[in-house]
Structure formats: structure tokens, C-alpha cells
Amino acid sequence: MSGIVVVGAGQAGFQAAASLREAGWAEPITLVGDEPGLPYQRPPLSKAYLAGKSDADALSLRPASYLAEHRITLRADTRAAGIDRAARRLRLGDGESLAYDHLVLATGARNRALPVPGADLDGVRQLRGLADADRLKADIATAGRITVVGAGFIGLEFAAVAAARGIAVTVVEATARPMARAVSAAMGAFFRAAHEALGVRFAFEAGVEAIEGENGRATGLRLAGGERVAADLVLVGIGVRPNQELAEEAGLAVADGIRVDTLLSTDDPAISAIGDCARFPSPFAQGLSPDGSVRIESVQNAVDQGRSLAARLTGRPAAYAAVPWFWSDQGRHKLQIAGLTAPEDASVTRGSGEAFSVFRFRGGALSGVESVNRAADHMVARRLLAAGTPLSPEQAADPDFDIKALAM
Ligand code: FAD
């Protein structure tokens, strides 16, 4: 028996392996990952770990003893290079190959590169893995002026950590507000003000024309209007691309992600895909994309898909329909999002000041809820969305309407 081989020893791959053992899978499980060390969680890399408030051991999803006890073979520092679907073998970078009965692709995503001259200068950085975070930690210990390209979650979390150290931080963003694709205008405005209060300067609707440097090192950015922003460190956080090449080269369907069905199976029944690399049909994505499919980059999605796949592979198949949820810590504020929203979804705000939620509606139905410092609203939103309990914009707008009671 060849067992299950998982490519990618990140959040999703590790969860699939752990859940398979919990569900009673007795055959071999091999985790193939191209990073060194034990599987680890990424969220602290732009939060507590970057700020020096937690160490590398705290990042590990489980200690080495867990893998040994659960007979999960970890092939760290090992890149999967190709799939021979007919022979059911995974080719590794060193030429060796592993036989599989079932192959799980959990290859995650990689950062988009900034397509401008100077992007390869020293001092231009990205943040995806532990090695990136370690370099950035050393960088911010000496940096005087940092420019972040992209006002998304990771760029803003990084900006908050750097600003808290007294570093002059400028965030350059192509759209008109922070997190424009992910949150409402009201939530974006709140976080803009929160970052500005930390000393962060923003340049919105700003295109980067080039990164300028001296002696091979970045010294600043030139914006489309000609403005120059000085920087001794540039963090590029402009989104990610799914690692789908293995699947694509093996002839599997891809479209901004490896295409899977509701059971997380690719069009080869012996191969599944989960986590950041997978595009799947979701009941929460109706009206968001032409075919109702989505690719989600979050811990929740990686973990729940790992569990869902393990259940199917051990004889309990169920369509994947977990409520998407997400969090981001920026300075002293916690943003939580439940559901999947589009920028044009209608917004209804409950609460005020530094603790409020924005209820979002698409076609009159609740599509998601963004909460800042209102954890109770977030939990209620997850329950409402999971049960499909109707909530109207009028009910959400009425401060006397008891939404919590509706969710019970
Ligand atoms: P990954 O964790 O990326 O794991 C994929 C692994 O596969 C990687 O180790 C990769 O190197 C490896 N791999 C790829 N190709 C191959 C190959 N050919 N052979 C072998 N190995 C391969 N989400 C939240 O919900 N909340 C947060 O606050 C949050 N903060 C984040 C902060 C940072 C800095 C980052 C980078 C991400 C954050 N995320 C957050 C997102 C979350 O971490 C990801 O959605 C999650 O890690 C996805 O898990 P995954 O297993 O699909 O991918």
C-alpha cells in the first residue's frame, strides 16, 4: 500500500495529515514540503513574531514528537517536481519518486512580484515564509524609513509593527483606500485613521514606476506622478499567486487555482487540492464569480478543507461548505471578517467608535460581516451564515433588533 502523499507541509497539508490519522487512516502518510523544519503557522510572521513577542518554536503547528507518534513522515526541504498520473508517482526534485494511492496538493501560494525596474534591488523584500520574516526582523532593527507597497492585510500588519517601533512608514497603494477588495469603505476609513494615528503616511491611487537604488541597494520609490518616496527598506505586499504549476503540468484544470469540485477532488479522482492553491465551488461565492467558484487565502479555509478532505478519504464524504472567516491584527485593533463580500455589496453599520461591525448585503441577502473589536458580532455572523438564517438590511440597521437572538 503506497498511502497518501501530501505536497506542501503548510497549514492545509499538515491539517489533512493530522485529520487523516484522527479519522483512523492506518496506511502511510508522507508530507513533502520544500521549506526546512516543521510545519508552522504563518499569521504570527506579520504580527507577534515580527514584533519579537513570540519565538520560532511557538510557530510550529506541532512538535516533532507528534509527527513520530502519528506516523506522519515529513520530507522537509524537498520539492515535488512532477506528477506521473498514469503510474501514480510523485517525482521529487532530487530525482527520487514516491508512489501514491491518493495525492493531495496543498502547495499554497507565493507573493506576486512588483513588475517595475529596481524590484530586484537589495532592500526590496516580501513576506511569505519564516525565512522572509527573519530577514525582515533584522532589517527593521536598523531601518530608518520603510515604504510598504500595497495596503492589504500583510502590508498593513507589517506597517503597524514597524510604526510601533518609531520607524517612518509610508504605504503606497494603487486603489483609493486600504483593503479595498476585502472590506467596506467605512472599515477602510477606520483603519486608515488608525494607522495614521500610529504615524503611518499613505499615498493612495499611487502607481509605482520604479524602485531606485544606489550601489545595488534600494533608496526609494518613484511614483507615477513623478513623486519620490525615500526608503531604505521596501516591503512589497501586492497579493499572491497560487502554486498551481504541478497540477497544470500534469494536465489538471487550473484557473487562478487548481480546480476542484465540492468534494475537493480535481478531475483526476486520485488527486485532490486544498488550501490557498485550490479553486472550489462555494455557496458563499454565488454572485462573486461567474461560476460561483472561489480561491480563499485563510487559515480557516486551509484547516477546514484539510479536515473535509480527510473525512472523505476515510469514507465520510460531504460537500465542502464551511463559512469563510478571517482575522487581521493591526496595531491594537482586531479585524474579523465572516462570509465573502464584494466591494459593491451594500453596507449597514452597527456600533460606533472603535468597536463596530459592518453588515454587508448582496441582492438583499447577508453576504458577510466585518467587525472591529466586536468579537461577539463576528461569532453571531458565523452562526447566521452557517444556518442561512435570513437577516434583512432593515433589521441590521435597527439598533433595537436583537441579531444575537436570531442566531440562537
Ligand atoms: P501554505 O501555508 O503556504 O503552505 C504551502 C506549502 O507548500 C509551503 O510551505 C510551500 O513552500 C510548499 N510548496 C509549494 N510548492 C511545493 C512543491 N512543489 N513541493 C513541495 N512543497 C511545496 N490567514 C488568516 O486567516 N489570518 C491571518 O491573520 C493571516 N495572516 C497571514 C500572515 C502572513 C505573513 C501570511 C504569509 C499569511 C497569512 N494568512 C492569514 C494566510 C494563511 O497563512 C494561509 O492562508 C495559509 O497558510 C494557507 O495554507 P496552505 O497550506 O494552503 O499554504
- Please report the pLDDT score of residue 1 as a whole number: 57
- Please report the pLDDT score of residue 408 as a whole number: 87
What residues form DSSP beta bridges with 98?
90
| Nearest-angstrom CA–CA distance, 263 and 278 | 12
Ligand 1 pocket, mutate which of 5, 30, 107, 378 (most atoms under 8 A from CB): 107
CA of 141 to the centre of ligand 1 (A): 25
Q: Where are the domains of the chain?
A: 4-110+240-313, 113-236, 341-407
The ipTM value here is 0.99
- Picking from 251, 260, 267, 351, the residue whose alpha carbon sits closest to that of residue 309 is 260
CA of 148 to the centre of ligand 1 (A): 21
User: Tens of pLDDT along 207-240?
Assistant: 999 999 999 999 999 999 899 999 999 999 999 9
Contacts of 119 (CB under 8 A, 6+ apart): 113, 211, 236
- Please report the pLDDT score of residue 2 as a whole number: 82
CB-ligand 1 contact for 128 (6 Å cutoff): yes
Instruction: Please state whether beta strands 102-105 and 97-99 pair in parallel, antiparallel, or not at all (unpaired).
Output: unpaired
| Nearest-angstrom CA–CA distance, 153 and 204 | 16
- The correct answer on CATH 2.40.30.10 for the domain covering 341-407 is no
Cell of 376: 461577539
CB-ligand 1 contact for 339 (6 Å cutoff): no
Query: Is 0.80 topped by the overall pTM?
Result: yes
- CATH class as words, domain 113-236: alpha beta
CB-ligand 1 contact for 34 (6 Å cutoff): yes
Chain centroid offset of residue 287 CA: 22
Instruction: Please state whether beta strands 208-214 and 217-223 pair in parallel, antiparallel, or not at all (unpaired).
Output: antiparallel
CB-ligand 1 contact for 275 (6 Å cutoff): yes
Identical fold for domains 4-110+240-313 and 113-236, yes or no, is yes
- CATH class as words, domain 4-110+240-313: alpha beta
Secondary structure tally for the chain: helices H, strands E: 10, 26
CB-ligand 1 contact for 305 (6 Å cutoff): no
- Please report the pLDDT score of residue 287 as a whole number: 87
| Nearest-angstrom CA–CA distance, 271 and 173 | 38
CB-ligand 1 contact for 89 (6 Å cutoff): no
CA of 399 to the centre of ligand 1 (A): 39
CA of 107 to the centre of ligand 1 (A): 8
Q: Where are the beta strands (DSSP E) in 112-232?
A: 124-125, 145-149, 168-172, 201-203, 208-214, 217-223, 228-230
Average confidence (pLDDT) per 10 residues, the chain, 408 residues:
92 98 98 98 97 94 98 98 98 96 98 97 97 96 96 98 96 97 97 98 97 97 95 97 98 98 98 99 93 97 98 98 98 97 97 97 97 96 97 96 94
CB-ligand 1 contact for 126 (6 Å cutoff): no
- Which residue's C-alpha comes closest to atom 14 of ligand 1? 107
CA of 41 to the centre of ligand 1 (A): 8
Contacts of 155 (CB under 8 A, 6+ apart): 148, 149, 171, 235, 237
